[in-house]
Amino acid sequence: MPRLPFHRRHLAAVATLLPALLAPTFVRAQAVGAEPATIETTRSFEVRGGYTGGRFSHSTDDFHSSISLFGGSGSSRTGFPVEHRYDGLMLGGDYVLAQHRPDRPSITTLRVGLDVLGAADRLRIGDGRRATVALLAAHPHFSFELQRHKWQTRVGVGMLVGRVGYYGQDQGFDLLATNTVVDTVNVVPTFSLEMNWNHWVQYEAGYGANGLLGLANPTYYGGLGTGFGPRSPLALVVGVSSAASLAYNQAVSSFAYSRLTLAPAGRPWQASAFATFGSAQYQRVALQVGYKLPQKGAPGAPR
């Protein structure tokens, strides 16, 4: 049998020294494993202001027979068309809380804000009458944003409360007829969904257009666009929107719109513009500018 290079006394020495040699490594590994993961938290406040204006129309009360027990067409009365031309302003702000863990490629952002909107609505009724109505509403809102890898998704909800605008609805009138009533809107829920892939592909959909564009005549909207790449400060979205009470002889109508956003990287400000086209009966334009106040960052608590 070949002779082993180590004697028993050598093995005993190695067994004695091995724990002492591995102890520092074990202590360091234990310290690294016990270190809690930190969460980087950034708090900021954003202020903004904007202008919105446009025109649309609806009708005064329409009464017509929907059921006739005697086989006739029943009585009918066509309502007068009412044209609206309005100009309004918006002021608001958001509290923004962003959290990021260095060991995970994701950023979550929470926004809580309040907008105040006011407008002068100038009415011209088909029988020659004219009037000016003041619109005033508040828009508390909340949104959650998740950015992971190259994907960015934001969901927002809110509520327009006040004298928001106008709408038409059909109300029952005994068993023989219906009555179309045009009235003011006092509460309008708002919803928005935005998705972005690497600032190349952008999608948006919602109702009320996040408050600013919902004043006077809230609308549904959906659009698709591009941001021209991750280094571009521009983003363009083109879509279709539908609103109620656009024309006195139509219940709902659709129109095209475009939205342009300018947000230079590293700058505290951004701007956006909105305009409709393709409809002579419905026109809307809006401009908005936002500014982010200096940030205050603080490391979060251990998980």
pLDDT tens for residues 235-291? 999 999 887 655 555 555 678 999 999 999 889 999 999 998 877 777 888 999 999
- Coil/strand/helix, residue 67: coil
For residue 79 the two structure tokens come to 């309502």
* Contact by Cβ (8 Å): 215, 188: no
Domains annotated for the chain, with CATH where assigned, are 40-299 (2.40.160)
For residues 158 and 154, give the distance between their C-alpha atoms in angstroms, rounded to a whole number: 14
For residue 207 the two structure tokens come to 């109702």
Q: Please give the single-letter amino acid code of residue 181.
A: V
Q: What angle do CA 79, 83, 88 make, to 5 degrees?
A: 140
For residue 184 the two structure tokens come to 């003011």
pLDDT digits (tens, 9 = 90+) for 144-163: 999 998 999 999 999 989 88
The pLDDT value recorded for residue 2 is 47
Q: Name residues whose C-beta falls within 8 Å of residue 69's C-beta, 6 or more positions apart in sequence.
A: 176
* Contact by Cβ (8 Å): 211, 139: yes
Q: What is the pLDDT confidence band of residue 129, given thresholds at 50, 70 and 90?
A: confident
Residue with tokens 């406040």: 45
Q: Give, for 25, the enclosing helix (H) or strand (E).
A: helix 8-34
* Contact by Cβ (8 Å): 236, 203: no
Radius of gyration of the chain (CA): 31
* Contact by Cβ (8 Å): 243, 252: yes
Answer positive or negative: Cα dihedral of 230, 95, 110, 284. negative
Q: What is the pLDDT confidence band of residue 70, given thresholds at 50, 70 and 90?
A: very low
Q: What is the pLDDT confidence band of residue 227, given thresholds at 50, 70 and 90?
A: very high
